[in-house]
Each structure stands twice: as C-alpha cells, then as structure tokens.
Structure 1
Amino acid sequence: MEFYNCRLSVQYYQWVNINKAMKRELMFIKDFRPVYGYDKQIDNLEDDDLTDLPSKPGVYIIVSFKTKFIYPIGQSKVIYIGKTDNIQRRLKEHQRNLINAINDRFNECWHLDRYNYMRYHGAKVYYYTCRGYQESKDLESSIIESFYDRYGSIPVANGARSFRCVKD
C-alpha cells in the first residue's frame, strides 16, 4: 500500500511556485536556501501595508515591476540590495521616502537616485530574515557578491560597495 505524503507535496508545490518567481528576478543568488526561497514578497512598496512584517534583522531585495537594467554582463530587474536590523522599520522608511519622492517632497537629494528608480520603475520587495546566528551584514554580502559575480556590477541604486573582497 502506498501512502501519499501531503505535507511533502505542499512543500514541493510551494517550492515550485517560489522557484518560478526566483527564476525571473533572484536566480543570481547562489546556494542560498534553495528549498525555501525568500521569506515574503511585497508586491508594491508604495501601496502595501507593512505592519505585519517582522521586526527581525535581514536582507531585502528591491526589484522593478518590468524594467530590466543593463549591467556589464546581462540585464536584471534588481534595483537595490540592502540589510537591516529591523525589516519592518527599514521597509517603512523606504516606503515613506518613496512616497516623498513621488510627491516631490524630498529634502535629501543624495537619497533621491535610489527612490527615483523605485518611483519610475516600480518597487517590489523580497526579503529574507536572518536565521540562527546569521548576521544581516554577512547575508547582504553574500547576496551582493552573487549579484556581482553574475552581472559584473552591483545593483544600480546601491551607492557603495558593501560586500567583502577576497584578495589573492
């Protein structure tokens, strides 16, 4: 007699759906939680309610709705990769700054580039919370390093090089 494992099939189904989204936007990430994918997706940073987000450290990846940016080795929808000690607080800051940029109420011009990308190309967010003893800086470094290896550059709105370099 053969038993059908419902739990396994549900996890596999979720993994397949997550993988479909990741194939388009996040497949540059190497060997990173391939079974589980990202923790959650925010479909529209400008409009979505962010009150249910965790107050945990983690990394978030902001991607455009449809625009692919040209990098030295290919094209990607990724606008920005960032880290935080509190996902909810940081994404609410990004949401507030994006709304200010849309309404032309922006005081700090040096932040404007990042939010102009989001303003004109849309902003969808994927985030990963840190697990165990994992540090958000290490997680961010590995994701940015994977992006750099795949596209030959850091994302368009990442102003500083924030990942570690290995010297020969």
Structure 2
Amino acid sequence: MKKIPFYLLTNKLYTMSLKNYLNYLKQDILSSNWFKKNCKNKNIKVKVLSKDYCSKETKNCYFIYKEEKIYFYKLFLLKFEYKKEIENNYHLKLLNINIKHETLFNLITMLFSSQKLFLDTGHYPNINFLDRKVFIETYVKEYNSYLDLSVLSKILNNTHYEQDGYIYKLSHLFPKKTFIYSLYIKILLSTKIDLKNDLEIAKQLFEIYNVKISRRTVCDIRNKYLIPNIKKIEEKNLTLYFNNFNNNRRLLNKENISTIENNLKGVYELSSNEKIFYPFTENKVIYIGSSNNLKKRLKTYTSKTAHTNDIKNFIKDNEKIYFRIIKTFDYQEYEKKLIDTFINLYGDLPRLNTQRILKEFIIAK
C-alpha cells in the first residue's frame, strides 16, 4: 500500500473504500512486525468500543442494524491503547484509527437514535429532517469531540449499512428537505382535505407544517417524486386496471405456475400476507412486473435465480408469496399503467419496484 503522510492519514481513512480500509487494518497494522512486537511487550493493548459486534466480515458495509441494535464488524470497533511513543511514529497510525473508529461509532449511535422510529418501522413519514450544522453542534456537546461538515460528509457518503437484506448509504438517514416535503404532500393528499391545485397544497403545507414554499416548488416536488397533482376522490377508473387480473391470488409455487400456458405475454403482481405501509394507505402488493414469458419469469422466483436481489431476499424471508397475472400483448405499456395507478392509489411504488424513485438510497447487494 502507498505510504501516506501522517498529517493526511485521518482524512484518507474516511474516504477509503471498505475493501482498502480492511486491507490497511489487516496488513499494515495487525499483521505488521512492529505491531506484534509491541503487543508482545505490552506496549499496545487492543480493546473494543462495544460488545455488540459481528465476527463475520460484512459485505460492502460497516455494520448491520438488526432488532433495534447496531452490530459493527469487530475490526471497525478496535481501539488501541499504547503506553508510550512507538518507533518510527507508528503510534500515530493507531491514533488516527482510534479517531476514525470512535467518530464513526459515536456519530452512528447518535444518528440512529435520532431516526429510531423510522428505522424500526420502515415508514418514511417517520423519518426526521436533520440539519447538519445542528447535528454537529449536538455531537460536539454530547461527546466533547471534534466534528466538522467535511468529516461528516465524508462519513455519510462513504459508509454503508445493512438492514433487512438491503444495503443503504448512511446519507439515506440525512434526507433532503424536498424529500421530507414530498412526504408531507402525500400525507395531505391522503386526508379528507379537498385540494384542487398546487397553490392550495402550498397553503396547507404552511398552515400545518409551517413549510413556506411556492406553488412552482410544490409542482417540481410532485414531478420528481411522482405524486399526483390532485387527490383522486373517484377511484373507479384507477381500480379498473387491477380488476383486469385474470384470477384471484394464488400461492407462488411450481404447481400453480405450471398451469400457465407457455410463452404467455403479460403483467404479473406479487403480494404477501403482510400489510405494507404506503403513504396513502396499506396494501399487500410488493411488486408489479411484466414479461414476454410469464411462466418462465415466475419460475425464477421459486429458485435462486430471481431477476432482482431485492425480490430474491424478500421471498427468502417470507414463506408465502402470491401472484396474479394479466394476459396482454402490450405488456410493457400495461405494466407502466398499473404502476402509475398504484402510485396514484397508494402514494408510492410497490415496495420492491425501486426503478423510479428512492433508488438513490438503495445499493444492490
């Protein structure tokens, strides 16, 4: 590994890829002769910042959030204590690693405490807007430790975590104001308030949430997050598309899939027994897709070759998944109409359809 000047080391450690940082810890520190020698002479003691850790190396992420607890990979919790200066200033390397690990651990602990309700429910209206400057001030006061905007940005953009089979960038928990405003707009549209245009939405945002934005900004937010411009009071035309499914929900298994004719073009829907929170209301639908061979596509979900990791992981964790199909030659266009309809009815994409919005937050495993 290229030698890094000590005065630049901490900065470099924050921006290293996970793989490079692990290699640095293992090869340049833990496996080095100087480190082993000083551990043997008891000049260095190795401790951990928390007893909650995973010994197995995590893939593409620093830690896992599971059952309301944060589990770092053990190497990222190491803290080195040394009695005196070590030859060739090697103790400065340990100091820099301590700074990174303690900053990461404290920052993530504080951040996850701030977003606990969202993390535990997965319901986006529960996510809080966090001002970065206020967050830093609170951090410095809480831990009596240094943090600035540059360090915070490096950590947020270069740190990933795993939850429920998904890998997220840490910046996911620092949502932009426009995203928070989009949630407020969806909540307003789900109420009984009669909102006829963007100007009325803007007025309600100010009255209820004290958010002062223009009609034009409301329109831009709706377009970005695929929010309908007015509340759909009459839903008959929208539900018409869903009534075109050729059958009731059937359990997704090889036996039921075998009854579908070969090379059938169409659209399919996947659902579960678990109700999922969407901004406007609850629903059991998890995915809407299409294929020029429905039988072949649905078969992939009963094996390890599901065409997306998100669906594969969801099916793995849920015993009963159901499907419905619609026969149509214009399957791609019909899929688009169904997804647009779903957004109008429920305020968001089906849970596993990530190709349009919120994709910026989710990193494929």
TM-score for the superposition, normalised by structure 1: 0.61
2:335 maps to 140
Report the 3-state secondary structure (helix = DSSP H, G, I; strand = E; otherwise coil) of the residue aligned with 1:60.
strand
* Residue 31 (structure 2) pairs with residue 31 (structure 1): no
Q: What CA distance in whole angstroms lies between the structure 1 residues aligned with 2:354 and 2:241?
A: 24
User: Which amino acid in 2 is paired with 1:58?
Assistant: G
2:103 maps to none
1:45 maps to 252
2:267 maps to 59
Identity over aligned pairs, percent: 24
Q: Rg larger in 1 or in 2?
A: 2
Most deviating of 146-155 and 111-120: 111-120
User: Which amino acid in 1 is paired with 2:340?
Assistant: E
1:127 alignment partner, one of 314, 321, 325: 325
Are the aligned partners of 2:250 and 2:256 in contact in 1 as well (CA < 8 Å)? Answer: no
Report the 3-state secondary structure (helix = DSSP H, G, I; strand = E; otherwise coil) of the residue aligned with 2:257.
coil
Q: What CA distance in whole angstroms lies between the structure 1 residues aligned with 2:314 and 2:354?
A: 13
Structure 1 residues 32 and 42, CA, compared in 2 at 3 Å: closer, same or farther? closer
Q: What CA distance in whole angstroms lies between the structure 2 residues aligned with 1:92 and 1:114?
A: 13
Residue correspondences, number:
120
Are the aligned partners of 1:63 and 1:78 in contact in 2 as well (CA < 8 Å)? Answer: yes
Cα deviations by residue, 1:117-166 (Å, 9 ceiling, x for unpaired): 23334210010010xxx41111101110110001111011112129xxxx
Structure 1 residue 114: Cα displacement: 1.5
User: Which amino acid in 2 is paired with 1:138?
Assistant: E
Q: Which has the higher contact order (CA 8 A, sep 6+)?
A: 1
1:150 maps to 345
1:92 maps to 299
* Residue 312 (structure 2) pairs with residue 115 (structure 1): yes
Unaligned runs of 5+ in 1: 1-26, 102-107, 163-168
TM-score for the superposition, normalised by structure 2: 0.30
Structure 1 residues 136 and 143, CA, compared in 2 at 3 Å: closer, same or farther? same
Q: What CA distance in whole angstroms lies between the structure 1 residues aligned with 2:289 and 2:336?
A: 9
Q: What CA distance in whole angstroms lies between the structure 2 residues aligned with 1:68 and 1:118?
A: 15
2:232 maps to none
Are the aligned partners of 2:254 and 2:299 in contact in 1 as well (CA < 8 Å)? Answer: no
Are the aligned partners of 2:269 and 2:323 in contact in 1 as well (CA < 8 Å)? Answer: yes
User: Which amino acid in 2 is paired with 1:145?
Assistant: D
Q: What CA distance in whole angstroms lies between the structure 1 residues aligned with 2:237 and 2:253?
A: 25
Are the aligned partners of 1:41 and 1:127 in contact in 2 as well (CA < 8 Å)? Answer: no
Structure 1 residue 39: Cα displacement: 1.4
Q: What CA distance in whole angstroms lies between the structure 2 residues aligned with 1:29 and 1:39?
A: 17
Structure 1 stretches (4+) deviating beyond 6 angstroms?
none
Cα deviations by residue, 1:101-127 (Å, 9 ceiling, x for unpaired): 9xxxxxx9xx33212323334210010
Structure 1 residue 73: Cα displacement: 1.1
More helix by share: 2
